[in-house]
Amino acid sequence: MRSSTLLLALVASGYALELPFTSLKRGLASLFPRKNGNKCPPAWTTVSQDLTKMFLTNGQCNDDARAAIRAAFHDCGTWNKAQGAKGGCDGSLILAQEYNRAENNGLQAISAKLLDLSKTRSVGVADMIAFAGAHAIVTCPSGPQVKTYIGRKDSSTPAPDGLLPDVNASGDSLFALFQDKGFDAVDLAALVGAHTTSKQFFVDQAQAGKPQDSTPGVWDVKFYGETLAEPPPPGNFRFASDLALSKQVQVGKEFKGFVDNQGKWSGKFADAMSRMLLLGVPGGADALTDCTDALPRSTGKKRDIKSAPMFKPRS
């Protein structure tokens, strides 16, 4: 009898609890094998230490952290279904100097820093962008730990134009754009919440440096309520695209569901972002190595889940 069959028989007969823990663990491992048995290279633990120093200032995530989050979105987000197993998270933001495109303005400095770090630690640029984005998210107080994989192939082929969201786009067009990347209304509503840590510098030069919510150094849900507020808080800058999404029929319903609901948002965002970081990667997660454990632990996950309502009605 195979070990997995024996384990099932023991469970069914009520004797599994009498097995030593190590034996039970081995049996479960045979039933649910890991997607990739490779261990995360130790270089990524060192990279994580480097990034913590880069991203954290006075206990909050700083401008480098928010730029790294944006960089991950802008490298991976240039993918659509027509490209298949190429493009997306391939490092072309840096390697093809896409950071010089108008929609990527402001990413030049973080691109240079991440390129230097990838050379210093002898790791891939595409992996560095994805890992740094996930690291920056969890560095922010209350930021979730996003499932993060390593092993992407770098590319210096420029991504197609027109596949990143426009700040003045309508809600319907933005939803269609993200559907073509494989995301639904819940995913998009969750992903746009990354603006909780963002600041604008180029949409309106007269208001350069204004954040999209009142606590840009903290990963929280104030962005949702403050985007919907009329009038919005005076210190905030509200993107027209964010307001459009908050009013779009399908996305707006989910957008409102995240107001004052940190626990729900953290889980939905982490799930959608983990998939964002795999766009265009041949074979997806199965072809890569899980390096999530090299990231810092979330500072507020348990607290957020404990304080979140179990079932919050949608308005």
Beta-sheet pairing, 56-57 with 60-61: antiparallel
Residues labelled catalytic: 74
Question: Any known ligand binding at 215?
Answer: yes
Question: Any known ligand binding at 196?
Answer: yes
Question: Any known ligand binding at 92?
Answer: yes
Q: Which of 245, 227, 228, 249 is nearest to 237 (CA)?
A: 227
Q: Which of 33, 72, 42 is nearest to 286 (CA)?
A: 33
Question: Any known ligand binding at 227?
Answer: no
Question: Could you give the CA distance from residue 262 to residue 266 in angstroms, rounded to a whole number?
Answer: 6
Length of the chain: 315
Q: Is 264 exposed, middle or buried (0-12, 13-18, 19+ CB in 10 A)?
A: buried
Residue 148 vs residues 26, 29, 52: alpha-carbon distances, Å: 25, 21, 16
- Name the token pair of 7: 């384990």
Question: Any known ligand binding at 127?
Answer: no
Question: Which residues define the annotated binding site for Ca(2+)?
Answer: 75, 88, 90, 92, 196, 213, 215, 220
Question: Which residues define the annotated binding site for heme b?
Answer: 195
Question: Which residues define the annotated binding site?
Answer: 75, 88, 90, 92, 195-196, 213, 215, 220
